[in-house]
Amino acid sequence: MRIGELAERAGTTTRTLRYYESRGLLAAHRDSNGHRTYDDDALLQLRQIRALQEFGFGLEETRPFVECLRAGHPTGDTCPASLDVYRDKLAELDACIARLQEVRDAVRARLALAESAAPPPRCQLDPDHPLSKE
């Protein structure tokens, strides 16, 4: 398939495909007219890249998954290098979650301190209320 068709089927742009090609993540063949052509494996590779990027993986982190697919594996996440990237990403996410929990706890503590130091709210009675006439 030609670059425009691949971009449409993958839900991306031809510019993105050329960028991936320049980074070595996508391989194009040239037809007799010099146009880029791609096989169906390219679509599978693009779907793998896009799925990982939706999870927050950087483009370079997708490389082992693409290479795993190129090696003939049915999915890109069954090779040792892909598993290592998953492990690294989980460690990164765990660290982020731990940091966010620390920040949440600090904000909660500051809120509690601020609430305990604040004067109690004063009641404002309606001037027409019977108790305000005493």
- Fold (CATH) for 3-116: Multidrug-efflux Transporter Regulator; Chain: A; Domain 2 (1.10.1660)
Domain extent listing, the chain: 3-116
- Give the helix/strand (H/E) hosting 5: helix 3-10
Q: What is the pLDDT of residue 130?
A: 67
Cα separation, 29 vs 64, in Å, equals 21
Q: What is the pTM of this model?
A: 0.77
| pLDDT score of 16 more than 80 | yes
pLDDT in tens, 92-102: 999 999 999 99
**pLDDT mean over 2-26:** 95
Q: What is the pLDDT of residue 128?
A: 73
Cα separation, 61 vs 55, in Å, equals 11
Q: What is the pLDDT of residue 131?
A: 64
The angle subtended at Cα 3 by Cα 48 and Cα 76, nearest 5°, is: 15
pLDDT in tens, 32-88: 998 999 999 999 999 999 999 999 999 999 999 999 999 999 999 999 999 999 999
